Amino acid sequence: MAISAPPKSSSQASAAKWDTKYEWKAILLLALAFGFVGVDRFMIMPIFPLMAKELNLDYSAIGIIGGALSLAWGLSSFFMGGLSDKYGRKKVIVPSIIIFSLLAGVSGVATGMMGLVAIRALIGVSEGAFTPAGIVATVEASKPSRQGLNIGFQQMAMPLFGMALAPIFVGWLLSVGFHWRWAFALVTVPGIIVALLMAKVLRDPKPSEAAAHTASHDATPHGFWDVFKFRNVPLNIIMVLGWLAAEITLAILLPSYLTDVLKLTTGQMIFVLSAFGFGATLGTVALPGISDFLGRKPTAFIGGILCLAFVLLLKAAGSHPGTLFALVFMVTFFSQGLIGLTVGPMAAESVPATLMSSSTGVTIGVGEMFGGGLVPIIGGFVAKHYGIQNIFIICIIGLVVGILISLFVKETAPRKLAAAQKAKAGLAEA
């Protein structure tokens, strides 16, 4: 598909013409909303032991409850991205925030496994609907030259709120005497407030305006399944599966590796695992932001190489908690940054404006269903039959696949494309 230069008035808008005030208001609200997605998803983790005791849940039940959300999230993202392409971002984003905020509160009144499975699955559906629409709304609100950075900022909120702050918040509530059921109720109100503000602030641009944020600048109508006709889409899906293979494997099985193989104490293990939240938060901002200048393709390739290098160092590391913390931080910095880069700017920019949410949704959906579902099964099989020390092989294979695939994607960063267009015009004049 030929890539033509966008009209100067849309893609090269001057600071005077670009509505920076709206950009930052919209992105702040979208980041807060995704932060609450992280809270709703991850705050249940430190509560699980108390819930299990009160509701008579075993390990299998806990796994099913967590898996129900992931599966529903993936299926919803896959199909609901197309809905926001058809009807607009706001009509998907605002209701989905209200629904998952209310359902998070309802989690606190569940009385058994089946109720929790149903509630968490519905939360997955609503959050899966929000995610691709929220990413593309961030793209559309951003000045093209900094949309990678802005997506990183929006995506950062999920690990920051969900993985770093939510456990602290829940721990404090429980320590001062709140029952675990009230912890769920307290997250409902902030989410609804953000939804109401979003309804007032968020705009839905015309396809002709949104096209300035894509590589093709195509604003013509397309059907949902047309998304797979664009080369980068299947490549992005394979890449994100590679990045997730590394991150999910370590997130699930590294705790057991640290205690069973390296013989760390529980306190030392928790300290090392805290690096996941900090690394993911910073990496999610840094890599997409760097890619605005370096380009999406080289950032994915170099980031994959560095992630692989730190996985190899982690595999060879001893049992010193400080060293392990630093290595886990760096692995997660790059793996989460690569995931955010791939499902964010690379997915949205690779297709016409009328398919941006569809592209983002199918990339997230396949990654969530297979990365969140199949990879843990494979990792558990390897750990059980070949030794848990061999889980690093899954990480290495996934990263190698992602690195190789990154060599074949087409560059989509607006700044890089504009520079290439300018250089081409200069050569033509010469």
pLDDT above 70: residue 12: no
Instruction: Tell me, yes or no, whether 230 and 178 share the same domain.
Output: no
Q: What is the pLDDT of residues 207-238, one digit of tens each?
A: 888 888 888 788 888 989 999 999 999 999 99
Answer yes or no: are the C-beta atoms of 268 and 323 closer than 8 Å.
no
Does a structural domain hold residue 328? yes
Q: What is the pTM (predicted TM-score) of this model?
A: 0.82
In a domain, 397, yes or no: yes
**pLDDT digit string (tens) for 86-130?**
888 999 999 999 999 999 888 888 888 888 889 988 998 999 999
pLDDT at 14: 41
CA distance 116 to 68: 9
pLDDT at 39 over 80: yes
Segment 350-375, tens digit of pLDDT: 999 899 999 999 999 998 888 776 77
The residue with greater pLDDT, 293 or 428, is 293
* Amino acid sitting at position 168: I
**Dist. CA 77–CA 69, nearest whole Å:** 12
Q: Are residues 239 and 199 in the same domain?
A: no
The domain in which residue 98 lies consists of 20-204
Q: Say whether pLDDT at 2 is over 50.
A: no
Q: How confident is the model at residue 290 (pLDDT cuts 50, 70, 90)?
A: very high
Residue 239 near residue 399 (C-beta atoms within 8 A): no
Please report whether residue 100 resides in a domain: yes
Same domain, 187 and 326: no
| Residue ending a domain, choose from 172, 204, 236 | 204
Q: Judge whether 212 lies within some domain.
A: no
Answer yes or no: do 327 and 248 share one domain: yes
Across the range 292-321, mean pLDDT stands at 96
Give me the mean pLDDT over the 62-91 stretch.
85
Q: Which long-range contacts (CB under 8 A, 24 or more apart) does 256-262 make?
A: 256/383, 256/388, 257/388, 257/389, 257/391, 258/324, 260/388, 261/388, 261/389, 262/318, 262/319, 262/324
pLDDT at 374: 77
Identify the pLDDT of residue 1.
40
Let me know whether 266 and 122 are in one domain. no
Are 108 and 325 a contacting pair, CB within 8 Å?
Answer: no
Shared domain for 180 and 272, answered yes or no, is no
Which residue would you say has higher pLDDT here, 402 or 376?
Answer: 402
Q: Is there a domain that residue 209 lies in?
A: no
* Residue 251 to residue 229: CA distance in whole angstroms: 34
Residue 6: predicted pLDDT: 45
Verify that 32 and 176 share a domain, yes or no: yes
Q: Is residue 15 part of a domain?
A: no
Work out how many domains the chain is built from and give that number. 2
The enclosing H or E element of 245 equals helix 232-260
**What is the C-alpha separation between 338 and 240, in angstroms, rounded?**
8
Given a cut of 90, is residue 287 above it in pLDDT?
yes
Mean pLDDT of 27-35: 94
* Alpha helix stretches (DSSP H) within 265-410: 266-294, 296-316, 321-341, 347-349, 356-366, 374-386, 391-406
What confidence category does residue 430 fall into, taking pLDDT thresholds of 50, 70 and 90? low
Helical pair 44-55 and 20-42, crossing angle rounded to 10 deg: 30
Report if residue 217 sits inside a domain: no
- Could you say which of 177, 204, 231 is where a domain stops? 204
Spell out the residues 6+ positions from residue 120 whose beta carbon is closer than 8 angstroms to its own: 44, 65, 66, 68, 69, 72, 107
- Domain end call among 176, 204, 232: 204
Q: Give the mean model confidence (pLDDT) for residues 318-341.
A: 95
Q: Are residues 186 and 159 in the same domain?
A: yes
Provide the percentage of residues in the chain whose pLDDT is more than 70: 93
CATH of the domain at 297: 1.20.1250.20
Asked if 249 and 198 sit in the same domain, the reply is no
Mean pLDDT calculated for residue range 296-309: 97
Distance CA 202, CA 26 (A): 6
Co-location of 426 and 370 in the same domain: yes
- Measure the CA–CA gap between 45 and 131, rounded to whole angstroms: 21
The highest-confidence range among 57-66, 107-116, 140-149, by mean pLDDT, is: 140-149
10 occurs within a structural domain: no
Confidence of residue 295 (pLDDT cuts 50, 70, 90): very high
Q: Give the confidence band of 422 by pLDDT, cuts at 50, 70, 90.
A: confident
> What is the distance, to the nearest Å, from the Cα of residue 67 to the centroid of all Cα atoms in its chain?
17
pLDDT of residue 8: 46
Q: Are residues 299 and 381 in the same domain?
A: yes
Domain identity same for 252 and 374: yes
